[in-house]
Structure 1
Amino acid sequence: MSGRGGRVTLVALLVVLAWLVIGGVAGPYSGRLGEVATNDNASFLPADAEATRAQELSKRFVDDPIVPALVVYERTAGVTDADRQRIAADVARFAEIPGVVGPLPPPIPSEDGQAVQVVVPIDDDRGEEIGTVVEELRDVAGADRDGLAVDVAGPAGLLADLIEVFSAIDGTLLLVTLCVVLVILLVVYRSPVLWIFPLLAAGMSFGLASVFVYLLADAGAITLNGQAQGILTVLVFGAGTDYALLLVARYREELHRLERPWDAMKAAWRGAAPAIVASAGTVIVSLLCLLLSSLNSNRALGPVSAIGIAATLLVMLTFLPALLLLGGRWAFWPRRPLVGRADPRTDGIWSRVARFVARRARVVWLVTSVVLAASAIGLTQLGVTTLGQSDLFTERTESVAGQEAIARHYPAGTGSPATIFTTQETARQVAEVAQGVPGVAAVRPVTDAPTGPPAPTAPPKVVDGIVQLEATLADPPDSDGAERAIRDLRVAVHAVPNSRSVVGGFTAINVDTADASRRDQNVIIPVVLLVIAIILALLLRAVLAPVLLIATVLLSFAATLGLCALIFKYVLDFPGVDASFPLFAFVFLVALGIDYNIFLMSRVREESVRRGTRAGVLTGLAVTGGVITSAGIVLAATFSALAVLPLVVLVELGVAVAVGVLIDTIVVRSLLVPALSYDIGPKIWWPGRMSRADGEREAQRAG
């Protein structure tokens, strides 16, 4: 036995050393993901939308595609001659900044004399370096001076602020996530040693995932943006800690039963691995369903997150068991599990919960279902709308301040017009129709004039028989009013015979993104549900149980969105949610929420084979209650770490996943599913053989 134990220890040591070498190579890549991330507008643009066609047509009218930055100077008492001299000097310096496409058009004074706007075209090919160009513009313009407020806004200013937000992901978000996981593990294990193993394994998972994501993104095989990068961090640490908690709990349980640690780990691995593999597989396949999306940003999130879960699964089933074997029973000090001593979980709070469920099974599942359904009523307050620029950040950024200043003194769409491409023959008619659309302030053709607005009699520029018109909108380009104007504008110009009109621009991109998000929800959500049902049917070898589990998760999802709608509106004071929020919330909540049901029901099935279904339900709940609750708290806390990023979209997603996971863990998995399974009894496994054999056994016991 000692020889066998020595061989097992040697193998475990070699596995740990091999992973440490891999970690040494992979570790630096976790800090380099920002190098291959892209956060420009193109990474979020629908692939086959009208705005995309407009963007392609626009390239014919310019030698170099540009992204405008809008520098706005504002003095409420009226712009002075000294201010105008300062603005002229700034314009000359703007033109000298690398990346600025000159010559610059002349400054545009407002009609009320209180503001001056300078449009600074920036080379679009610079990608994320646009952020650096904007920072140089802000340095040149300087801070507010003697009552003259200066802000850099427009699409380029917004992009620069987004890049600054996402730059915090590599450091701030990772540090906060690590601290959250560390604190929870210390509370859960109450051991100065044991927390090291799950945290080290989670860090190894993140490093391994970062390598693959970095290499694939660098090769152009996948697209990585700041949103996917942030979710990858919290997902790997959250899911990885969940899997670790499940394996460690099962290992502790087997150490109470078996003398040798390697025998205990073998039994624990066999018991926990199927549930962990099924859980990870469910999440991976659900995330890969995002590849069906028509939005590049959604398609980017799917494979990036799936890679993270796959890496986590590999590490947690190899590296972590080897670490635990080397630690032996001493890893659990000062509460070392001893053979023959009862596992405290078998007679703790979860045993009392199990007995309560057994006494009031039908009442429990009926009451919990009604409470969840009542919580879903809050969905009526969930206003699904694309967040405007002023609503995108939790803090007031310079691009937001500049856009507000522009809205006060100009037609709010100035500097970010809608673009209309039409045939030369119908250009005049299309312009007249566009001018009559509510919400359109002005329409003018693009001419060959190098700078400034064209002369009234200047002929339009014609390229391949196509003319470009610019429609200035009355509302801010990211507002609901501007989006309504774009929809009305498209209807109007498309109705002009033989015009072949195409409408694009910043607002049109938002409109097409919202439409694509609604299409994605209708396509992807049913596919995810079907995939999860198949995986559960294979795992549980039943049909009724998977259907009921999915129904409980859907009820939990509706309740979560209802509660989140109230939190967003009355607690956080957010104006609404992004168009992509329902889909992202669904994929993460359903895929992660079903995990806890998998952890529970796989153990229930294992116990039902030996004890019968109803006894198996109670035993499964008693022995998994503590670990699954801890896992839910860890995952909820890690996603809550997204709140450190000042971006409303990620804060809303973090809050939704945290609330949903807690509901799944505390209500659905602890009360609703066990009570429903106990009340139904052996038929829960229909049409499998267990539903008949278990039924006969329980009938004999009753007789």
Structure 2
Amino acid sequence: MLLSRKHQSPPPRGRLLKWVVLLLWIVITILAVPAASHLPDVVEGRSSAELPRGAQSTKVDELTSRFPGGELAPGIIAYVRPSGITAADRAKAEADRAALAPIAAGRVAPPQSSADGKALMLNVPLTDDDTLGDKAEKLRDQSEKNAPDGLEIRLTGPAGSALDVGDAFEKVDKPLLIITILIVTAVLLLTYRSPVLWLLPIVNAAIAVQVANAVVYLLGKHADLYVADGMSAILNALVFGISTDYALLLLARYREELRHHPDRHHAMAIALRRAAAPVIASAATVSLGLLCLLAADMGFNYALGPVAAIGVLAGLVVVMTLLPALLLIAGRWIFWPRVPRPGDAAPARGAWDRVGHRVAAHPRPVWIGGLAVLGALASATLGITTGLDRAHFLTTTPSSTIGENLLAKHYPSGQGRPLQVVTETRDTPQVTAALKDAPGVARVDDPKPSEDGRLTKLAVVLDDPPDSSAAEQTVRDLRRTIPDATIGASTASEIDKADAQAHDRRVVIPLVLSVVFVVLIALLRALVAPLLVIGTVVASYFAALGGAWLLFRYAFDFPALDTQVALMGFLFMVALGVDYNLFLVSRVREEAGRSDHRTGVLRGLGVTGGVISSAGLVLAATFGVLGVMPVTMMVQIGVLVSLGVLLDTFFVRSVIVPALALDAGPRFWWPGRVTAPHHQRPTPIKAEISK
């Protein structure tokens, strides 16, 4: 009687619920897809949008609206002929000047000749807004039209750089998602060897991506949420990877329960209950870690936090509601050809069981040797050079950089990107004089008064290239010796971004570690286990950073690490890397509660090894796809996170963490204790002998 009640069919309401959930998600998806398609409409197109909060360059950017013409991003067209500019070349530049006047944000001055007579420079002022890329494209198209033979023409300046970046992201956004789907599909097919099952995680991930993009679009349109160029690529990779991970974990628990329960609804209820704690803890860890970016100064970092957290929550909600409904509707046959049936024997001892027993033979030498390997890789971080110049922002040399180099041969090196200096009108004479007398300053243009007459803006051209260390030192000296001036744009902006990134690393990294530690304590009800887990994840991060740097330097030939990569890599690796350790250790705790600590560690590793390995491959693949992007920062983030996830999945989580847990013994759970129920405790050895 009791047995029949245990396995009786759920009430009709339970059987109807899955259809209600499916119908609800059909409606949500129909509403989300059109909104998601408009996400590019709210991407912030202003070139200065990601400037750090409170920096001098940001203040200059904020003050530009008080000057005639507002915020400007000049498009500078370089006309170069090595044998000398001809009359036809001058006529071409004048024709472009006349044709581009209607889209300019002010008067277009006549082309300026170089001292050597081999170049012309046309400066077209453009408004720095969401239409900057479109206007820059018109400049490029017009300048290339009907060009005299032998005349090299390049668009450079802030508008040219914005166009290069916009083109780079536009060309890869859709192909990137398609490549991601294909790679994840291949991994799922290899994992499940089922012609049908792989579809469900893909469908769930695709819907989660659409929902996340739709929510971000609505918040961007109606709540002024800042969405930067390239953010959608990171969002899609994160959502696709993490929702597939959660789906794999739930699928594994559901398949396991189907072997014990004849009713699939009952099996799903148990699977959801047992998977909920680690999955929700994982989502909390990642989303709260991402929200720590709200403490950042850098505009891109600050904005990425809420955008990415929205993606994680979208993946969580879809997997914990839609996926169970789809699995229940499909029935057991979805696992064909390996359909789990009640009473089926547990899977034969697999590779991870064998790994666990080998680790258990000598746990201490294993974790010491493992940490030594991580330390060797991490030592490569000592040689890291940080800070990419504009020439290496894209993986191929940008057209605007070629144009800037052309101008540098015939004009002062800072001509293409002058500093913008703002001062109060009463201080203008002394500030102007100080700038003209300062070492490293090639030219100070005539002052431009604000519309209210209280401020003055000056364009300052430096002797040295804007990305050079000499130009950086000049700007720092100017800021120190001319306190009445607020200096922004060009080299000043790059200095402020680098300083903001340094601040963000100092502030955000400790916050992320604190959040992860608190979540682990809450889930595991222990102190030792969370400390050891976090320690291994941090060690794997530095090992991955060192390994990635070796690849960047000697395989990719990148001269430096982008200033954003270290923080972004840490954030994704620690938050996501803790996930797999969290899945493992929570299962170890569950299994240890049924037997003893050693058995729990080995059983937990054996049961979770396959699903976590698959999840790691999926996540590494989704971030690895960023490596095909033409933006160096994205390539570096993708390679670093992929390498880190693989290292954590197949070495740290599978070898070092079990070795530490085995060596620590029951103290792993201190100050708590994990004990098996009395009827499940192993029989003491003495009792066995007496029998």
- Answer yes or no: same fold by TM over 0.5: yes
Q: In the alignment, what sits opposite 1:366?
A: 368
User: For 1:604-637, what per-residue CA distance to the aligned partner results, in whole angstroms no more than 9, with x for missing partners?
Assistant: 0000111111110000000000110110010000
Q: CA deviation at 1:682?
A: 0.2
User: For 1:400-423, what per-residue CA distance to the aligned partner results, in whole angstroms no more than 9, with x for missing partners?
Assistant: 221121122221211421122345
Code of the aligned partner of 1:405: L
1:586 to 545, 552, 570: 570
List gaps (5 residues or longer) in structure 2: 1-6
Alignment of 1:469-480 (within 5 A): 469-480=458-469
Q: In the alignment, what sits opposite 2:475?
A: 486
User: For 1:89-115, what per-residue CA distance to the aligned partner results, in whole angstroms no more than 9, with x for missing partners?
Assistant: 22111213x3x1232112111222221
Count of aligned positions: 679
2:558 to 574, 587, 603: 574
Alignment of 1:57-136 (within 5 A): 57-96=63-102, 98=103, 100-124=104-128, 127-136=129-138
**Alpha-carbon spacing, 1:617–1:701, altered in 2? closer, same or farther (3 Å):** farther
1:355 to 334, 342, 357: 357
Code of the aligned partner of 2:369: V
CA distance in 1, matches of 2:524, 2:464: 55
User: For 1:43-93, what per-residue CA distance to the aligned partner results, in whole angstroms no more than 9, with x for missing partners?
Assistant: 201121111222344444424332100100111222122211221122111
Matched, 1:509 2:493: yes
Q: In the alignment, what sits opposite 2:35?
A: 29
1:379 to 378, 381, 392: 381
Does the aligned pair in 1 maintain the 2:78–2:155 contact within 8 Å?
yes
Code of the aligned partner of 1:161: D
Matched, 1:147 2:150: yes
CA distance in 2, matches of 1:2, 1:375: 56
**Alpha-carbon spacing, 1:630–1:145, altered in 2? closer, same or farther (3 Å):** farther
Code of the aligned partner of 1:418: L
**Alpha-carbon spacing, 1:157–1:604, altered in 2? closer, same or farther (3 Å):** same
User: For 1:626-665, what per-residue CA distance to the aligned partner results, in whole angstroms no more than 9, with x for missing partners?
Assistant: 1101100100000111123210111111111100100110
SS of match in other structure, 1:117? strand
Alignment of 1:102-501 (within 5 A): 102-124=106-128, 127-142=129-144, 145-168=148-171, 170-344=173-347, 346-385=348-387, 387-423=388-424, 426-446=427-447, 464=453, 466-494=455-483, 500-501=484-485
CA distance in 1, matches of 2:192, 2:451: 72
Between stretches 217-226 and 523-532, larger displacement belongs to 217-226
Matched, 1:671 2:655: yes
CA distance in 1, matches of 2:18, 2:67: 65
User: For 1:520-559, what per-residue CA distance to the aligned partner results, in whole angstroms no more than 9, with x for missing partners?
Assistant: 1111111111111000000000011101111101101110
SS of match in other structure, 1:156? helix
SS of match in other structure, 1:67? coil
Q: In the alignment, what sits opposite 1:451?
A: none
User: For 1:117-160, what per-residue CA distance to the aligned partner results, in whole angstroms no more than 9, with x for missing partners?
Assistant: 11000123xx2211111111111111664211111110011112
Q: In the alignment, what sits opposite 1:536?
A: 520
CA distance in 2, matches of 1:165, 1:49: 28
**Alpha-carbon spacing, 1:462–1:163, altered in 2? closer, same or farther (3 Å):** closer
Normalising by structure 2, report the TM-score.
Answer: 0.94
Q: In the alignment, what sits opposite 1:458?
A: none
Q: CA deviation at 1:363?
A: 1.5
List gaps (5 residues or longer) in structure 1: 449-460, 495-499
CA distance in 1, matches of 2:548, 2:352: 28
CA distance in 2, matches of 1:502, 1:365: 54
Code of the aligned partner of 1:587: L
CA distance in 2, matches of 1:614, 1:3: 37
Between stretches 399-408 and 316-325, larger displacement belongs to 399-408
Normalising by structure 1, report the TM-score.
Answer: 0.92
CA distance in 1, matches of 2:497, 2:248: 39
User: For 1:487-538, what per-residue CA distance to the aligned partner results, in whole angstroms no more than 9, with x for missing partners?
Assistant: 12211212xxxxx221122221221111111111111111111111000000
CA distance in 2, matches of 1:46, 1:3: 59
Between stretches 465-474 and 597-606, larger displacement belongs to 465-474
Q: In the alignment, what sits opposite 2:539?
A: 555
Q: CA deviation at 1:169?
A: 5.4
CA distance in 1, matches of 2:331, 2:429: 82
Does the aligned pair in 2 maintain the 1:424–1:466 contact within 8 Å?
yes
CA distance in 2, matches of 1:507, 1:670: 46
* Displacement over 6 Å in runs of 4+: 691-694
CA distance in 2, matches of 1:59, 1:15: 50
Code of the aligned partner of 2:378: A
Q: In the alignment, what sits opposite 2:609?
A: 625
Q: CA deviation at 1:595?
A: 0.3
CA distance in 1, matches of 2:626, 2:36: 17
Does the aligned pair in 2 maintain the 1:169–1:229 contact within 8 Å?
no
**Alpha-carbon spacing, 1:103–1:299, altered in 2? closer, same or farther (3 Å):** same
Q: CA deviation at 1:598?
A: 0.5
CA distance in 2, matches of 1:557, 1:65: 40
CA distance in 1, matches of 2:445, 2:16: 78
Code of the aligned partner of 1:247: L
Q: CA deviation at 1:342?
A: 2.3
Does the aligned pair in 1 maintain the 2:64–2:70 contact within 8 Å?
no
**Alpha-carbon spacing, 1:447–1:51, altered in 2? closer, same or farther (3 Å):** closer
**Alpha-carbon spacing, 1:92–1:254, altered in 2? closer, same or farther (3 Å):** same
User: For 1:276-314, what per-residue CA distance to the aligned partner results, in whole angstroms no more than 9, with x for missing partners?
Assistant: 000011000000111111222212111111011101101
